[in-house]
Amino acid sequence: MVQLSTRLHCKALLVCLGIGAPLLANADQLEEVFVSATRSAAPIQSLNVSAYRLGPEQLAQAAATHLNEIATRLPAIWVSRGNGQESLVSVRSPVLTGSGGCGSILMAQNNISLRAPGFCNVNQLFDAHLEFAGSIETINGPTPATYGANGLHGMINLLAPADTITATNSIAVEIGAHNYNRINITQKLGAADKPWLFGFTGVSDGGYKKDAGYDQQKLSILHTRQSGTLSYMTLLSLTNLNQETAGYIQGDDAYKNTSVKRDNPNPEAFRDAYALNVSHQIGSDAKSTNPWSITFFARQNDMRFLQHYLPWQAVEETGHSSIGIQSSWQSTWAGGTAQVGLDSQMTQGYLKETQPQPFSPNQPQGAHYDYEVDANTSAIYALYTKDLNAVVSWSGGIRFESTLYDYDNRLSDGSVCAPTASACRFYRAKDGTDRFSDWSGHSGLLWQVKDDHTLRIRIATGYRPPETGELYRLQNGQTAAQLDSESARSIELGWRASFDTIEMDANIYRMRKSDVIFQDANRYYVTGAKTRHQGFELKVSSKFSGPWNADLAASYGSHEYANDPGYLGVSQAIVGNAIDTAPEWMASARVRYTKAAWQAELEAIYLDRYATEPTNSNWYPGHTLINLRATRPLSQQWNMSLRVMNVTDADYAERADYGFGNERFFVGEPRSLFLTLTYQP
């Protein structure tokens, strides 16, 4: 009863913070546009999709050191922070792990996936330059037909600044707790009507835990220009990460134990990652009656890290290089608007796993895997929107995508272990090819009740082909993985409305996933798990000209196992159980006060309890965090910002887990202070 009362109190606090303040005054607000759904700017009110956006003002106010500090402002999204810059992501889903986790949520920069289909990594968001982003857009639920593989649960898209012409030069120097230092430099060069915008971020973090910290450098270069009826945009993004990784601490409620909170059981762990993403878009200008665009892109990334979370601690090296093209063409047709396009990319990837030290006959010293995969992905899609009458419109889309993997094992085929091994952990598959062909689609109605009120219904499907790690990183004698693409079917109802004092976006949804890939009791990768997901999400923002402003993002989600597939280490029935790491309630609210040129923001974040393993025998109780941010000008050129994170110094876990018979935690940092000085000449 005490726990329930506390949870209700936290939810009531968030609702009061988010909804009570908007009743103080009112004003007008400009129409919000959204890029991600169709790859071109469109009024968000015209889209039949659960779409959310954080603009440059919100990003500047948050001044996030990690995406999890800003993602809380969006409903049904949780970026669970690991050590340093590591993360696991949830979008209308549990926090998903492993190859299937990163493959189920599309993570993109300027509409282009950060990693190629089949080669994702759960931490791939550290490839994006968060500090340079002009906005962050998300799609909750299966993505539209403009995107294919990996948009099963939704999409997180970091977009470059949209208005480079009015961009200002600045230098920001930040210091914070635990030897945290960051510098952000933005510099505009070139002609006023076709500028080059440079962004550099350098971070050095000593880390809260012992023998942990990271250094990261990020460079982005953006060039835009207009030539006659054509527009051009080029974006280059380069990131480098050198991280000393801290492992889980173990034990019941260890995150509350002062004597072990700062311990690092794995001081030898590390992660080094490099990523280069470049794109060049050519398209018609905004006045074109038949808008079109072609985007050429390339990516390269390499990563080397210690598998500290496994007892034998192998070293993994992985990476891939891609070139590709995205295209789009729109025209009026049959009384409506049609959009068609072709997408294609070619990828060369590799993976090596080597165990430096002897451990056991079943996990032998030496090379476990060394393989390369050439992949070709091609897709065709079409979207169509038509007004059925003055207030109701129909929209639909369809996409067909084909993915071909050509696998080359560079070591001997078969078991890695000596014949005397009782149950060899690693098995190398023979050379071969695998092809996956998938369809996705969506259809829905949008009812324009009034100019500022829309109701909508949408059904959609999504898919993800198996990741290369699931197909070729076999274990325990599995000679080949016979896997199908995962699929999802979703239906949702939405309501967007603008009142005198608030703007509101509310959605309810229901989704079922089939052919979910997992490891069975023999550690074989197999297909056959089913899950069900349902809930609602709410985003409320105030709009007024007075000094007070507020917003709320809240969601409820029920994520359950829909069958008993026989997961690794789970012998009992789990159908109907909550999926692990799937809190039902997530919410955040902010109240801001602006006076002249300075601003203060109080933020509350609530995360509900969640199970840490499939049997639901172990739970993390959840937490509530309070953050405070303030900004004040010192002169026309100088500005000072202050952030106090975890004001109440609450004991909490960034991530709770259960493995190898123990509760495991990544510890949340205690109260931390950050100070930033910004110079704008």
385-437: pLDDT as tens digits: 999 999 999 999 999 999 999 999 999 999 999 999 999 999 999 999 999 99
Helices marked H in 153-201: none
Separation of alpha carbons 496 and 386, rounded Å: 20
Q: Which amino acid is at 120?
A: C
Burial class (CB in 10 A: 0-12, 13-18, 19+), 504: middle
pLDDT for res 31: 64
pLDDT for res 141: 97
pLDDT for res 669: 94
Q: In Å, how far are 146, 156, 271, 441 from 293, measured between CA atoms?
A: 13, 21, 37, 22
Q: Say whether pLDDT at 9 is over 50.
A: no
Q: In Å, how far are 450, 475, 480, 663 from 521, measured between CA atoms?
A: 55, 11, 16, 21
pLDDT for res 571: 86
Q: What is the residue-averaged pLDDT of the chain?
A: 92
pLDDT for res 500: 87
255-289: pLDDT as tens digits: 999 999 999 999 999 999 999 999 999 999 878 88
Nearest to 603 by CA among 17, 7, 60, 136: 17
pLDDT over 70, % of the chain = 95
pLDDT for res 409: 98
pLDDT-derived band at 28, boundaries 50, 70, 90: very low
Separation of alpha carbons 226 and 230, rounded Å: 6
Q: Say whether pLDDT at 15 is over 90.
A: no
Q: Say whether pLDDT at 24 is over 50.
A: no
Q: Say whether pLDDT at 317 is over 80.
A: yes
Is the domain 2-679 a CATH 2.40.50.180 member?
no
Separation of alpha carbons 474 and 308, rounded Å: 20
pLDDT for res 217: 98
**Cβ of 226: how many Cβ atoms within 10 Å?**
12
Tokens of 535: 């809930």
pTM of the model: 0.93
Q: Say whether pLDDT at 578 is over 80.
A: yes
Rounded average pLDDT over 128-133 = 96
Q: Say whether pLDDT at 10 is over 70.
A: no
Rounded average pLDDT over 213-236 = 95
Tokens of 106: 């599309």
Q: CB within 8 A of 116, min separation 6: which ones?
A: 299, 320, 322, 345, 347, 349, 375, 377
29-57: pLDDT as tens digits: 446 899 999 999 999 999 999 999 999 99
pLDDT-derived band at 512, boundaries 50, 70, 90: very high
